[in-house]
Amino acid sequence: MKLEAGSMQALVCDSYGTPDDLRLEEVVIPVPKEHEVLIAVHAASVNSWDWDLLRGRPYLTRLGAFRKPRYRILGADVAGRVIAVGVAVERFRPGDEVFGDLSGCGWGGFAEYVCATEAALTLKPEGVSFEQAAAIPQAAVLALQGLRDKGKLAGGQQVLINGAGGGVGTFGIQYAQLLGAEVTGVDRGEKLEALLAIGADHALDYQLEDFTLSGKQYDLILDVVGVRSVMDIKRALKPGGSYVMVGGTTPRILQALLASPITSRLERKKVSLLLHKPNHNDQLVWKSYVEAGQVKPVLDRVFPLSDAAQALAYFGEGRAIGKVVVSMGR
Ligand SMILES: NC(=O)c1ccc[n+]([C@@H]2O[C@H](COP(=O)([O-])OP(=O)(O)OC[C@H]3O[C@@H](n4cnc5c(N)ncnc54)[C@H](OP(=O)(O)O)[C@@H]3O)[C@@H](O)[C@H]2O)c1
Mean of pLDDT values over 264-281: 89
Predicted local distance difference test score (pLDDT) of residue 2 = 45
Among protein residues, the one with the nearest Cα to ligand 1's atom 42 is 166
pLDDT computed for residue 5 by the predictor:
55
pLDDT score of 259: 79
**What atom in ligand 1 is closest to the CA of residue 188?**
41
Among 94, 100, 99, 52, CA closest to 312: 52
User: Considering the domain 138-273, what is its CATH architecture?
Assistant: 3-Layer(aba) Sandwich (3.40)
CATH superfamily of 7-136+297-327: Medium-chain alcohol dehydrogenases, catalytic domain (3.90.180.10)
Q: What's at 283, amino acid-wise?
A: Q
Min mean pLDDT across 186-195, 266-275, 285-294 is at 266-275
Q: Is the CB–ligand 1 distance for residue 316 below 6 Å?
A: no
Residue 135 has pLDDT above 50, yes or no: yes
CB 90 within 8 A of CB 37: no
Q: What is the mean pLDDT of residues 250-264?
A: 83
243 alpha carbon to ligand 1 midpoint, in Å? 15
Print the SS3 string covering 106-147: CCCCCECEEEEEHHHEEECCCCCCHHHHHCCHHHHHHHHHHH
User: DSSP secondary structure string, 162-179?
Assistant: ETTTSHHHHHHHHHHHHH
How much is the average pLDDT of 70-99? 97
Q: Work out the percent of the chain whose per-residue pLDDT is above 90.
A: 88
Smallest CA separation from ligand 1 atom 20, residue = 166
pTM: 0.97
Express each pLDDT in 277-320 by its tens digit: 999 999 999 999 999 999 999 999 999 999 999 999 999 999 99
Domain ranges of the chain: 7-136+297-327, 138-273
- 95-108: pLDDT as tens digits: 999 999 999 999 99
Question: What is the whole-number distance in angstroms between the Cα of residue 143 and the centre of ligand 1?
Answer: 11
* Alpha carbons 44 and 220: distance in angstroms, whole number: 31
Please indicate whether residue 187, judged by its CB atom, sits closer than 6 Å to ligand 1.
yes
Report d(CA 127, CA 271) in Å as an integer: 39
Q: Output the pLDDT for position 1.
A: 43
Kindly give, in sequence order, each residue whose CB lies less than 8 Å from that of residue 307, ignoring residues fewer than 6 positions away: none
Whose CA is closest to atom 8 on ligand 1? 247
pLDDT reported for residue 83: 97
The answer to whether the peptide bond before residue 251 is cis (omega within 30 degrees of 0) is no
Q: Measuring from atom 24 of ligand 1, which residue has the nearest CA?
A: 163
The confidence score (pLDDT) of residue 27 equals 97
